[in-house]
Chains A and B, each alone.
Chain A
Amino acid sequence: MKNLWNVFVNGIVEENAVLKLMLGLCPVLAVSITILNGVGMGLATTFVLLGSNLTISIIRRWVPKEIRIPVFIIVIATFVTITDLIMAAYFPPLHKALGIFIPLIVVNCIVMGRAEAFASRQSTVWSIVDAIGIGAGFILTLFILSGIRELLGNGTILGYPVVPSNFEPALIMILPPGAFFTIGLMISIFNTIFKKKGAGGGHQHGSS
C-alpha cells in the first residue's frame, strides 16, 4: 500500500512530467490560456494515459519487443480517437478551443514515455496508479500555469472577474510570450523547492 502511494506521489513530484522531465510541453503552453482549457486538456490527456497504460500492461506479454513501438502507437491513437469523438459530442466548445491539440495527444511524449518506461514492465494495478499519479501532476501543473495566466492576462479566475476595476490585465500573459515566461519561472521555483539530487535540472531530457 505504501509503495502504491509512493508511485502516485512520484508522478506528481519526482517525475513531474512537465516541470521535471520536460515532457508534453507543447499542449501545456498552448492551451493554458484559461483554467477551463488547461484542466480540460489535463483530463483528456489523463484519460488517454490511463487507457493506454491499462491496455499496454495487459497485453505486454504478447507484444514482441521489436514491434512494441508501433503497437503502442496504435493503442494510444485508438484512445485519442475515442477522446476526440467523446469531446466533440459532449463538450463542443472545449473541443473547439483545444483544436488540434486533442489529436496531438498521440505524440505527447508523456503518454509514450509512460508506456515505454512503466506500463510495458509493470503489472496492471501499478500501471493504473502510475497513470493517475502522472496525470495528477500534469493536471496540477496545467492548473497553476493556466491560473496564473488567466488571472494576470484576463483578470479572471474560471471566467469570474476577481481583480479590482483599476487593475489593467497584462495582455502579454495570454499571448505566447507570457506562456514561455511563466513556465520558465515555474520550473525555476519547482527546482529550487525540490532540489535534492542532480541539483537544478538541465541534465535529463527527452528529445522527441
Chain B
Amino acid sequence: MLAVGNLHVSYGSIVALRGVSLQVGEGEIVAVIGPNGAGKSTLLLTIAGIVRAKQGSIEFAGGSVTGAAPERLVSSGLSLVPEGRHIFGSLTVAENIALGATTRSDRAAIAADTERVLDLFPVLRERLRQRAGKLSGGEQQMLAIARALLAKPRLLLLDEPSLGLAPLVVKQVYDSIEELRRGGVTILIVEQSVGRALKVADRTYVLNSGAVTISGRSAELQGTAAFDTAYFGAMSGARAP
C-alpha cells in the first residue's frame, strides 16, 4: 500500500532523514519507533505532503505521490493524525468530525460514517455541540482519530497517539486502533512507547538519527540485543522498557 524509498529530508542545513525506506502492506499495522529527534514525525509529515523531501520517492496505492499536496493525498485515501492531536479547538466536536469529510461529497455515506465513529467513541456523541478545545486530552485524541476516519482513509498515519495521555486512556485509544484494523484500515503508527508499539504492530521499524537501523516482525525483534543496539545506539547495554 505504501512504499517509501530512500527518503532524504532536511530542514535548512539540518538533516532529518537520511535514506529512509519502508513498506506498509495492505491491512497491516506497522510501527516506527525510536528515540526523540530520530525523525519519526518528519517521516510522517513528509509522507503526508507537508514537508518536501530533497530526495527519494513515495508510492501510495500503486501511484507515485512524491511531492503531492496534502489535500490531494487526503482525497486519495491517506490521512494523518499529527503529534499533539491538533483538533480545531474553536470549532465544535461535530464541526471537527465533519471537516474530516472535506474531500468527500457522498452525503449519505458521510452520515453513516459519522454514526460509526460516534459508536466507536461514544464519549464524542455526548459532546457533539461542545467546543473541541474544552475536551480532555484523551477525548481530543479520539476526536482527532474520528476526524481522520471521516476521510475514509485507506492508510491512517498516527503520530504518537499515546503522548500525554493517562494509561487508561491509552488503552482505550489502542483498543480503537485494533478495531480499525479489524475494519480493514491499514495503519502506520509512530510511537514513543516501545512496548505498546511492539504489541500492536505486525512489523516495526526502528529509526535512529534519521536512518532505519533495524526492522522486522515485532515479535521477532522484541528483547533481542540487536534491537537494543538499534534503538539506543551502539554504546548501550540497557534493555528496552
Say if A and B assemble together. Answer: no
Q: Which residues from chain A sit less than 8 Å from chain B, CB to CB?
A: none
Q: Which residues from chain B sit less than 8 Å from chain A, CB to CB?
A: none
